[in-house]
Every structure is written in structure tokens, then in C-alpha cells.
Amino acid sequence: MASIALHDTAVLHDQDHGHHKETFITKYIFSQDHKMIAKQFLITGIIMAVIAMFLSVLFRLQLAWPDKSFPILETFLGKWAEGGRIRPEFYLALVTIHGTMMVFFVLTAGLSGTFSNLLIPLQIGARDMASPFINMLSYWFFFTACMIMMGSFFTQTGPASAGWTVYPPLSALPKAIPGSGIGMTLWLISMILFVASSLMGALNYISTVLNMRTKGMDMWKMPLTIWAFFLTAILGVLSFPVLVAGVVLLIFDRSFGTSFYLSDIVIAGQVLPNQGGSPILWQHLFWFLGHPEVYIVIMPALGITSEVIATNSRKPIFGYHAMVYSLIGITVLSFIVWGHHMFITGMNPFLGGVFMITTLIIAVPSAVKTFNYLATLWRGNLRFTPAMLFAIGLVSFFISGGLTGIFLGNAALDINLHDTYFVVAHFHLVMGSAAIFGMLCGVYHWFPKMFGRMMDEKLGYLHFWLTFIGAYLVFFPMHFMGLDGVPRRYYAFTEFEFMKEWLTVNVFITWAAIIAALAQVAFLWNFFYSIFYGKKATQNPWHSNTLEWTTAVKHIHGNWPGDIPTVYRWPYDYSKPGHAEDFIPQTTPFSETMSSNLPHDFEGNPEAEYIQEEWIKSHASELQTEEKV
Amino acid sequence: MVQTSADQDRINLRARKFLMWLFIISSFMLFAGLTSGFIVYTAGSVERGLKILLPQAFMYSTAVIIISSVTMHLAYLSGKRLQFNKQKLYLTLTILLGILFFIIQLSTWRWFIAHGVYFVNYNASQSFLYIFTGAHLLHVFAGLIMLIYALLGLRKNIPQVRNLFRLEVTSIFWHFIDILWIYLYVFLLLNQ
């Protein structure tokens, strides 16, 4: 049904292409074309990433040189850095907004928004999303959310400062700390807009994947990117509304005097009227989203990596079905592990044990994915493009960060490690760095598809090595700080005797962070320069199998000028024995590849098997001579 | 791109109807989150809990919204059978019943206040009453707008495909609101 309907539109489409009139506004600003929306998400995401990275450099300066004055900071930050030293309140705002922006704006919207929008219609063979209008709204809600979050920097009391998890009572009492005032209100408004944006995006992604695949594209012929985006969207649809539920209650506590989260609070000697609330309730509601959220961040990166590693190893992805099932496993499990963020809330030890077991089980699908990446690389015909390097970088971070997850998932260990730098090191490696590398990998790989030009490889290598080494130098030492009990989010370590010895390590980390941050200039230059002056791309620069490379380099609305191509095979026929080239696009029918077809390619179709057998019999002599040669 | 939307609509109706189902799932998760929050909160201490009997008015509003679901379905059937006058009648009826439901729900808030069940409350289980009914009323409000939109389409004599699409999407959502209220009511009855 779907395919018939789609072909009808192809005809409709061609007819009214003649009187299309695109103005600057409909083409570049309020665009409903998924490719343009993807670019909007990407560029907004990159800008947010640069800002969030800059914030991290600011608080790293404070951590490394807590007693030193940097007059230049006062020039730019004014009263927040009086005397050239960042004030404690502003330090808290910096870590809060750094976390919020990175997790939500960069790694959720920037990653899913960009690549789901770009690749879902292109790789499943659809002309656009189910509802292009809602898709456009999704971007503009996201953009508004970004602007409001940035706007909180320009308020008198500064941005939200309760940490990215905004636990009450800090977030629920406007008078608690300066950042709990207008900054927190703006944070909540921004997040509601953001949730609306990601829901609109996710609904579109799911509906498009389920309803608008081209002829022949059954679910098991979809590239792993699409599987990952699809399951990520499902996670979003099921978990983001619960955050809304929590936020609604928080807003009522803040502004209407209810007591959902508040009880027994004294501020400056004054007893507050709020009674009977439970701050743990927020933690439940928050982490029911919060934990799936980390998979919303990492799964698209894993999908992108699967595609890039297979393409650049010139080998089929190892264990395609296992890859899909492990994604499904992660999706399901991610909903029943949130309690591992709450081991120290006085949780019943039995319940803690349950959450511990479910958490550790997630290691299984994660390990399946890791081993499948390694097995795909094993004896592959590797091409080290910048995208491939970043994909391998993701695998590296996923392993080194994932291992510490096993430590933290243990309730007994977590009680010691909770809120220390060990946690910071863990999630920055497994979620932060890994997902950023997945995103960069996707940018390098699909840049030719987005902009019709190539990025510079040499700058890409420079960018990769500096970032890769920099990230490890930043986050690896943090494990040892955490094991020693150094807590996260503290303003300065000079006040505690046992932490003083870590000051030199902090200096080292800060220098590594500054160098890694400077390395991003190589990327930014490469990205923006190549949009306009890069080498012109060919239609299929990586010799890839998936559908997006069958479209013309120049973008047209509707993606394919004539009919949408039909799909005949899975996307990973790389280096198939018997075929002349080392890749066979999904649009190549088996009748054109008689020399390489295998019995299981026909999915039990007896007629096709018979034809193939006959062909092999009639070509037996040729095949033998070929073998002799 | 805006120009082709009319054409795109025609093909995408199925995919777009599916968007409504997905929205319902996310909306259901919102209420699942709220009701789970209620359970977690209430289980925390014996001093918490509804501690009142629900007002009679909830019975009436439940009856009203169930009837409105029936009229909604009748409107859908008449639209399908090209009986547009009937469709108009049943849609109007549904809208009126929806408004009646809205009013009854608001009247229960007054009843709550009269019985000392305030929104600002040390026993937040009682505050949850307002959250549940309020969040549900927001959905009813959205449903009413969709109903009016479907009625306006009929006025403007839009093509039958579009008319039926609006009707279907509206009725899916309206039945969801109905079921959602029954869920909330039963949930509250079990906890009173």
C-alpha cells in the first residue's frame, strides 16, 4: 500500500515542480525540507557545543588556579568574576548550564535532530517526514529553548545553578541561591519547550520509519542508523513526558506554594510554610527520564558508528541482527534502571539490589555491540577516513567509560563513589566523549551529502588526534580523584587538606582541556570553510550501499527526481565474494549480481533459488577457469 | 515547500494519523508519570493520601464524557456515510457535552475548596487531585479545538478525504480523553 501511494506522489510532484517558488525565508529559515532542518539542527548544535565547551574552560580555570586572578575574566564577565576570580555562585551556574546544554541541546537535539532528520527519509526512501510542518516546528521550539537558556546569562541573578538534574529544594525555592531565582524559571521554560521540540521530532521519526519506507525496504533491510534513530525516538516518546510531569509539579512548588517536593525547610532562620513534600519524588520522576536520556544520547551515535565502520572496513557489519536486538535490549532495560542514580537516598537495600541487577544486565547488550564493532574491524580492508577514526574513537571511549559503569552500577561501591569525580569521569567518557565522537563521525561522513562538498582530511586527522588524546588526558585522571573521594561540583579544593594534593592534577587537566578546546578550531574552520570552498563531492564518495547516496549531489525537494528507488537487499553487501566491486548498493537487484548471490539471499523463494542454480550450472566452466587464474 | 503541502498531505494522511497515536502514547506516559508520582508520594507516610470521598459530580462528568464519546462516534459514522447534516449535528452535540464536562470538572474544584481540600496543601496527595483534573482538562480543551476545527472543515466544504481524516484524528483523540478520564477516576476511587 505504502509504496503505491508513494509512487503516486512522485507523479504529482513532478507536475507542480514547475511552479515552485522558493523565497529565501521558505528555503533557509522556515524550511519544511528535512535536509535543511537537519542543517539547522546541526549548526545550532555546533554553536551550543562551542558555548558549552567555553563554559567548561571557564570553570576549569577556577579549578586549576583557585587563588589566581585573571583580570581578563572581569573584563568580560563583570561582577561574576570580581577581581578576576569566578564567584562561587557563577561557578555553580557554569557547571549547570554546561551540563544542560551538552546533554540536551548538543547531544539530544544536535545529534538526533541532525541525523534523524537527514538520514531517515534519505535512507528509507521517503520524500520527506510524515509531517514536514511539525518537523519545522520542532526546530523552532528547539531554537527558542536555546535562546531562553542563553538569555538566562543576561539576568541579574544569573542562570540556574542547581546542577543539570535541578534537584529540589535548590530548584524549588526561588530564594535558596541566586541561581534559583529567575534563572531557574527560565531553565524550566526552556526545558518545556525543548521537550515539546524533541517530542515533535520523535513522533515524526517513528511515524516516518513505520509508514513511509520505500518498496522492498522491510524493517530487516534498514541500515543500523535507522534502527538506532527509531529506537531512540521511542525512548524519547516514552520518557520525556514523565519529565514534564515532574517539571509541572516543580513549577507549582516554585510559584504557587504547593508542597510536592518541599518539607521542613529553614532559610536564614525562617521556617518555610511548605510541609509534607518529598524531594525523592523529584528524583524518581527525573531519573525515569534521566536514565533513558543517556541512551537517547548514545544510541544514535552507536547507529552512526555501525554504518561508518561497516562502510570503511569494506565488510558487512558483524552480527546485524545481534546489533538490532542489542539496541532493543538497551531500549527496554533503560526504563528499569533509574534507581541506580538513587542508591544513597535511603532506598530499601532490596530495591537497590534489583536496580543493581538490571543495571549490570545492560552491560550485556553493550558488550555485544562493542564486540561486534571489533569483529567488523577484524581483518577488514580498513580505510582510515576522519569519520572512521572518530568511529573507532567512539568504540574506545565506550569501552573505557563502560567498564567504570560496572563499578558504579554496584550499590555497595556506588555509596562510596556517588557524586565524586569518578562519576564525572565515567559519564564524560561513556556518554559525553563517545556521543560527541559519534556526532563528529557522522558530520565527517555525511558532510558531502549535506553540503555537496568534502571536508579537508588533514585537518580532520589533526582534529581527531588532538581531541582523542585531549579527552583521555582530561577525564582519565578524574577516576583517581574520585577514588580518593574528591566530590564533584565543589568550587575550590583549597579548603580541604586531603584534596590539596589533587591541585596539580587539576592544573594538568585544565591544560589538557584548553588544548582539546583549541583543537576544535581545526574542526570549526574545516566545517565552515568546506561548506563554501571544499572540494566538490561526487555522488557516492565513500562507495556506500545505502539509499542516500543514490540521490543527486544537489539537493532537491522530494529527494529523488523520478520514482523512489526500490530496495532489493540489505545495506551491508560489502566485499561480497564473486562480485567485481567491493560494494553492492541496496538498489541493485539480485538478477544483476548472479556471480555473487548466496542461497540465503533469496529468503526461501524457491523460484529465485532455482534460477540461481541454473545459472551456476550454465556458468560452471567460466567459474572454474576464473578460479584457476 | 509550503506550496506542495496540499499534495503531500494526501499521501501522508496515514503516517500523520499515526502521529496522533504516538501523541496519545506520550500523553499517556505523562499521566502514568503523574499517577506513579502520586503512588510514590502517598506511600511515603500514613499522613498522606486523599482522605476524602470523591464528589458526586465526578459521576455526572463521567456520564457526560461517555455520552460525548458515543456522539463522537456517531459523527464519525455519519461523516463516513456522507450524511453531512447528521455529522454537523453530532459534532455540535459532542462539543456541547465537552463544554458541559469542562464546567462540571471546574465545579468539583469549588466543591473541593468548600470541603477544605486546597491546592496549596501539606498533604500533596490532595494537591494531586487538581493536577490530575487540570492536566486532563487541558487535554479536553485541545480536544474541543480539534472538534471545532473538524466542524469548520465541514462548513468550508473541504474534500471528503480531508474531512474524514479530521474526523478520524479527532475521534481517536476524543475517545482517548474519555478513556483517560475513566482511568483517572478509577485510579482516584481506588485511592480514596
Segment A597-611, tens digit of pLDDT: 988 888 888 888 899
* Residue A551, C-alpha cell as written in the block: 540521490
The last residue of a domain, from among A277, A312, A338: A277
Mean pLDDT highest for which of A8-22, A49-63, A68-82, A584-598? A49-63
User: Which residues fall within 8 angstroms of residue B8, CB to CB, at 6 or more apart?
Assistant: A9, A127, A128, A132
Which of A219, A248, A277 terminates a domain? The answer is A277
- The class (CATH top level) of B2-191 is mainly alpha
Give the CA distances from residue A340 to residues A1, A173, A332, in Å, rounded to whole numbers and listed in that order.
46, 26, 16
Tens place of pLDDT per residue across chain B (192 aa)? 344 444 544 557 888 889 999 999 999 999 999 999 999 999 888 888 888 889 999 999 999 999 999 999 999 999 999 999 999 999 999 999 999 999 999 999 999 999 989 998 888 899 999 999 999 999 999 999 999 999 998 888 888 888 999 999 999 999 999 999 999 999 999 988
- Residue A28: DSSP 8-state: I
Domain that holds residue A609: 547-628
Residue B54 makes CB contacts below 8 A (sequence gap 6+) with B185, B188, B189, B192
**Residues from chain B contacting residue A133 (CB–CB below 8 Å):** 5
- Strand A266-267 relative to strand A270-271, pairing: antiparallel
Name chain A contacts of B4, Cβ cutoff 8 Å: 13, 16, 20, 557-558
**C-alpha pair distances (Å), A308 with each of A22, A312, A441, B32:** 34, 6, 8, 38
Q: Which of A242, A277, A312 is the last residue of a domain?
A: A277
Q: What pLDDT is recorded for position A558?
A: 85
Candidates A4, A249, A336, partner chain B, best to mutate (most B CBs within 10 A): A249
Quick one: pLDDT at residue A493? 82
Q: Where does the pLDDT of residue A10 fall: very low under 50, low under 70, confident under 90, or very high at 90 and above?
A: very low
B-proximal residues of A, 261-280, CB under 8 Å: 275-278, 280
Paired strand residues for A271? A266
Each residue's pLDDT tens digit, A135-178: 999 999 999 999 999 999 999 999 999 999 999 999 999 888 88
| Interchain contact A7–B (C-beta under 8 A) | no
Torsion, Cα B29 B33 B38 B41, to 10 degrees, reads 160
Rounded to whole angstroms, the Cα distance separating A362 from A323 reads 14
Q: How many CB pairs under 8 A join A and B?
A: 148
The whole-angstrom separation of Cα A577 and Cα A570 is 16
CA atoms within 13 A on the CB side of A620: 4
* Helix pair A88-100, A34-64: axis angle to 10 deg: 150
Contact A32 B1 (CB under 8 A): yes
**Residue A326 resides in a domain:** no
Domain boundaries along the sequence of chain B: 2-191
| Average of per-residue pLDDT values in chain A | 91
Q: Answer whether residue A241 shows pLDDT above 80.
A: yes
pLDDT-derived band of residue A448, with 50, 70 and 90 as boundaries? very high
Q: For the segment A278-292, what is each residue's pLDDT rounded down to a tens digit?
A: 899 999 999 999 999
CATH of the domain at A215: 1.20.210.10
Chain-chain contact of B26 with A240 (C-beta, under 8 angstroms): yes
Chain A residues lying within 8 Å of B47, measured CB to CB = 276
Residues of chain A with C-beta less than 8 angstroms from the C-beta of B27: 241
Region of A84 on the Ramachandran plot (φ > 0 left; ψ -120 to 50 alpha; else beta): left
Q: For residue B132, what is the nearest residue in chain A, using CA coordinates?
A: A245
Q: Output b/e per residue, B110-149; b: 16+ Cβ within 10 A.
A: eebeeeebebebbbbbbbbbbbbbebbbebbeebbebbee
Burial class (CB in 10 A: 0-12, 13-18, 19+), B180: buried
Interface membership of A361 toward B (CB under 8 Å): no
The interface predicted TM-score (ipTM) is 0.90
**Burial environment of residue A71 by CB neighbours within 10 A (0 to 12, 13 to 18, 19 or more):** exposed
Whether chain B has a CB inside 8 Å of the CB on A138: the answer is: no
Q: Which residues of A touch B45 (CB under 8 A)?
A: 276
Contacts of A203 in chain B (CB under 8 A): 19, 22-23, 26
pLDDT (tens digit per residue) in A469-501 = 999 999 999 999 999 999 999 998 888 888 888
Q: Is A72 on the interface with B (CB under 8 A)?
A: no
pLDDT tens, residue by residue, A194-218: 999 999 999 999 999 999 999 999 9
Overall domain count for chain A: 2
Any CB–CB contact under 8 A between A176 and chain B? no
SS3 A382: coil
Number of Cβ atoms within 10 Å of the Cβ of A164: 17
Residues on chain A touching B119 (C-beta within 8 angstroms): 252, 256, 258
Residue of B nearest to A24 (CA): B1
B4: phi then psi, degrees, rounded to nearest 5 = -85, 0
Per the listing, cell 499521566 goes with: B31
- Which pLDDT belongs to residue B49? 86
